[in-house]
Chain A
Amino acid sequence: MASSTTADAHHVPGALTRFLFSTNAKDIGTLYITVGAIGGIIAFVMSAVIRAELAQPGVQVFPVLAQYLHGADPAMALDAGKNLYNMFITVHGVLMIFFMAMPILIGGFGNWFVPIMIGAPDMAFPRLNNISFWLLVASLVLAVFSMFVEGAPGMRGFAGGWTFYPPLSGNTGTPGPAMDFVILALHLAGASSILGAINFITTIFNMRAPGMTLHRMPLFVWSILVTAFLLILVLPVLAGCVTMLLTDRNFGTAFYDPAGGGDPLLFQHLLWFFGHPEVYIIILPAFGVISQIVSTFSRKPVFGYLGMVYAMCAIGIVGSVVWAHHMYTVGLSLNAQRYFVFATMVIAVPTGIKIFSWIATMWGGSITFRVPMVWAIGFIFVFTVGGTTGVVLANAAADRSFHEGYYVVAHFHYTLSLGAVFAIFAGFYYWFPKMTGYMPNETLGKWNFWLLFFGVNIVFFPQHFLGLAGQPRRYIDYPDAYALWNLVSSIGMIPVTIAVLLWLYVIVEAFVAKRVAGENPWGAGATTLEWTLSSPPPFHQFNVLPRIAGSEH
């Protein structure tokens, strides 16, 4: 591809100004990744406490924790502990979705590499970019506040699951202000994402370098484009949905209150009209990252590029009309359930196209097993496992046996906790040399992979058995028959914890050892524009726009 002149004649501001007032996409990307890492670590610690509690039958951990964390009266500690458990599963979900996966994949990798990959100097609206980041920080602060104010009577925080279903999230279940904090946090996070999405769409449509046609864009850029459209389509629905909850709670409306002619199911339809596309909002950028990495380390262009692009578009479109498969047990009519079963199963087809195209990209390639590639191959496998159990759950008839149980927990953790997180690690190891200029330690990176790979599989695979046997999710205590697989699942947290600590060490070690990465540490397969720049790239890149000639696919 093209090369460019990247001489940096501009003044680079001091660190404080540079990051607090940043309008530079790369710096904002770094901020997003940092916040995402912080959110992810908090949410990870919560999951470790949850698994500690569930390691054996009975209630052991949370009553003690409630006394330390919320100063609960020892006489009330058991009840406070039960509430705290429910709050932990709620906040774990909210943080992982809104403050880990989305910021890192979209705000982080998106801001860093979308402008560079299309040969643009920066995002279209740099100041808008700044406000979308800081709205997210404000949102995180509100979400954390909610954990320490009253929710259910005499209890702290909102403890009703990340889906916030009323009446539990209304005045019936949570009269205290904790839920209002959560609603306002969602408003800000939503506004942040909508502004970010507008920025991405404008940038991608208007700021591509000469010759960078839509059908020549790298697949990661395509994935962010489809994601941005999904965000603009569904986040306003979430905003309306939780605003009506806010007015129900505070201003006497009855959108979701049957006593006033409302219906709790209205909330569920609106929530999932947002919530289901939301899972594709997380996984599509992950698909984009994996496509770049598989192509780079196979030293081959992506197989079936157009098929990959339109598979993502199809997933985005079909993914927006399947929301009620989260609601098979609410009493939908037979025909409504038939439609949602049919539409949901259709998604398996474009997803299958993506899996097979990645393998076909590797087929005939010359594969080097560098750290990012190892993560990417791991992603393809665990995502396939999560995808196949998704086909099971798409069937309303089978879902009757799994709904709100551990089979579902296992399924969505295989797609998100293993799938999206593996893609995040893959992208992190892939672009870390570009973002910092230093190479992470290859051996430690592989240890990080194997520890996490075995760890998460030990955590989540047995949860399929628990779900089949009938264990409901969101239970602080379970009948003794479920003890064995819960224990195995909890043991899996040990390698996972070591993997997370090792990852932090890898970062520190890379900055200490200062192994210079150079422009392109990955060799001939890395053909996208970011590898034509220095590592880290200059403060302003592409002062002279690169010209893209010909097509790689």
Chain B
Amino acid sequence: MLTGISPNFRRCALAAAAFLPALLFAGMAAAQVEGQPAPGGLGLPAMVTPVGHEAQAFYNLVLLPIITVIALFVLFLLIYVMWRFNENANPVPSKVTHNTALEIVWTLIPVLILVVIAIPSFRLLTHQVEVPPADVTLKVTGNQWYWNWKYPEEQGGGFAFDQMMKPEAELAPGDLRLLAVDNEAVVPVNEVIKVQLTSNDVIHAFGVPSFGVRQDAIPGRLNETWFKIEKEGVYYGQCYFICGKDHAYMPLVIRAVSRPAYEAWLQEAKKKFAANDGDAKLRIAASDAQR
């Protein structure tokens, strides 16, 4: 009927197949600066927390190979049946419509694959959700459209500050557009940081890709998450839940420093943010007035 089409069809299908191997490289981390997105990146960013490393290994070594093999296997089967069982190659269709053994096999093998995925998946999930004893606890409150960081008194803090995106006009050389903020949050390196999250207005979400952390900030609820940063540096995150017109304009920035540098910063910050005695509401009113 349409004999001329078949070879073309197969050739195009093969071209489509060439698109898939790109998946294989998706997991490889390109050369990049830790803490910020890599230009044209194909895979998960370089991770700097234990949970992040585990998540990256789970995706790159378990999930990605499995889904790539499954997708290529289905593609191979499709191309094979198109080649072997088209009307020219096989003019008389078979009448086979059942094969119990085959049906059991293609039910059980996926179950086994899922079990293989489930083991590392549940282990990582436990590590993410169960917060180990914390060295530093911070409270982060989402607002339309900025984050408020509160450092509690009993841990040497006793102040709070708002973290707002630097508008494009105020960017210094080297600042990242849409990611740089006025006040960076500073935390000590190699210590367990617990973040308590809530919101003053609508739902926001606190996410830092290089930590493997993403958690919602919901009004009326106190969520928690944690990270232990293994390297000093500046780490960028963004709001991961739609929160109104400036959803794209409320980044968060965390600078990890050594313990002594952290202590020094606490003293400095205490003076700088002295007006904010830890009561977020006062500061919100002030920042509203500024705008």
Contacts of B75 in A (CB 8 A): 381, 384
Known: A397-B55, A404-B205, A469-B209. A338 touches B41 (CB 8 A): no
Which one, B22, B55, B129, contacts A398 given CB within 8 A? B55
Which one, B39, B121, B238, contacts A472 given CB within 8 A? B238
Contacts of B106 in A (CB 8 A): 352-353, 356
Known: A83-B245, A330-B218, A348-B114. A168 touches B87 (CB 8 A): no
B37 and A469 contact, CB distance less than 8 A: yes
Interface residue ranges of A457-494 to B (CB < 8 Å)? 457, 461, 464-465, 468-472, 474-485
Known: A168-B202, A384-B71, A385-B71. A367 touches B78 (CB 8 A): no
Stretch of A7-15, A209-217, A368-376 at the chain-chain interface: A368-376
Is A79 positioned at the interface, with any CB of B under 8 Å from its CB? yes
A301→B97 CA distance, assembly (Å) = 7
Residue picked from B120, B130, B242, B244, most chain A C-beta under 10 Å: B242
Contacts of B66 in A (CB 8 A): 388, 391
A82 and B246 contact, CB distance less than 8 A: yes
Q: Which residue of A lies closest to B114 (CB)?
A: A345
Contacts of B91 in A (CB 8 A): 366
Interface size class of B (residues with CB under 8 A): 35 or more
A298 and B93 contact, CB distance less than 8 A: yes
Is B177 positioned at the interface, with any CB of A under 8 Å from its CB? yes
Q: Which residue of B lies closest to A78 (CB)?
A: B245
Residue picked from B6, B43, B44, B236, most chain A C-beta under 10 Å: B44
A247→B210 CA distance, assembly (Å) = 42
A461→B125 CA distance, assembly (Å) = 27
For the A-B complex, the count of residue pairs with Cβ-Cβ distances under 8 Å equals: 308
Is B247 positioned at the interface, with any CB of A under 8 Å from its CB? yes
Which one, B39, B86, B118, B122, contacts A369 given CB within 8 A? B86
A377→B5 CA distance, assembly (Å) = 15
Contacts of B110 in A (CB 8 A): 348-349, 352
B122 and A338 contact, CB distance less than 8 A: yes
Stretch of A158-166, A193-201, A315-323 at the chain-chain interface: A158-166
B114 and A349 contact, CB distance less than 8 A: yes
Which one, B44, B125, B218, B249, contacts A397 given CB within 8 A? B125
Is B201 positioned at the interface, with any CB of A under 8 Å from its CB? yes
Contacts of B224 in A (CB 8 A): 331
B124 and A370 contact, CB distance less than 8 A: no
Proximity string of chain B (44-56) to chain A, C-beta cutoff 8 Å, 1 when within and 0 when not: 1100000000010
Is A276 positioned at the interface, with any CB of B under 8 Å from its CB? no
Interface SS, A side:
helix
Is A536 positioned at the interface, with any CB of B under 8 Å from its CB? no
Interface SS, B side:
mixed
Contacts of A208 in B (CB 8 A): none
Which one, A380, A397, A475, contacts B74 given CB within 8 A? A380
Which one, B27, B87, B241, contacts A367 given CB within 8 A? B87
Interface size class of A (residues with CB under 8 A): 35 or more
A384 and B93 contact, CB distance less than 8 A: no
Residue picked from A82, A299, A468, most chain B C-beta under 10 Å: A468
A155→B41 CA distance, assembly (Å) = 36
Which one, A263, A370, A474, contacts B242 given CB within 8 A? A474
A150→B39 CA distance, assembly (Å) = 39
Which one, B16, B42, B202, B247, contacts A172 given CB within 8 A? B202
A153→B188 CA distance, assembly (Å) = 41
B212 and A86 contact, CB distance less than 8 A: no
A401 and B44 contact, CB distance less than 8 A: yes
A480 and B177 contact, CB distance less than 8 A: yes
Contacts of B179 in A (CB 8 A): 479
Contacts of B262 in A (CB 8 A): none
Proximity string of chain B (70-93) to chain A, C-beta cutoff 8 Å, 1 when within and 0 when not: 110011011001100111001111
Is A265 positioned at the interface, with any CB of B under 8 Å from its CB? yes
Is A152 positioned at the interface, with any CB of B under 8 Å from its CB? yes
Known: A468-B42, A481-B41. A365 touches B94 (CB 8 A): yes
Known: A155-B245, A331-B215, A484-B39. A345 touches B117 (CB 8 A): yes
Proximity string of chain B (90-118) to chain A, C-beta cutoff 8 Å, 1 when within and 0 when not: 11111111110011001100110010011
Residue picked from A304, A307, A329, A454, most chain B C-beta under 10 Å: A329
Known: A391-B117, A401-B214, A479-B176. A396 touches B39 (CB 8 A): no
**23 A-B interface contacts by CB (under 8 A):** A79-B245, A167-B202, A168-B202, A168-B244, A264-B218, A307-B103, A329-B214, A345-B117, A364-B96, A366-B87, A367-B82, A368-B87, A377-B78, A405-B240, A442-B2, A454-B16, A461-B22, A464-B23, A464-B26, A469-B37, A470-B209, A472-B240, A475-B248
* Sample of 17 further A-B pairs with CB below 8 A, known A263-B221, A384-B70: A86-B245, A329-B214, A329-B216, A331-B221, A341-B121, A381-B16, A392-B59, A395-B58, A395-B63, A395-B121, A398-B58, A398-B124, A465-B40, A468-B59, A481-B37, A483-B39, A553-B97
Listed from nearest, the 5 A-B pairs whose CB atoms lie closest are A258-B220, A470-B209, A364-B94, A388-B67, A397-B124
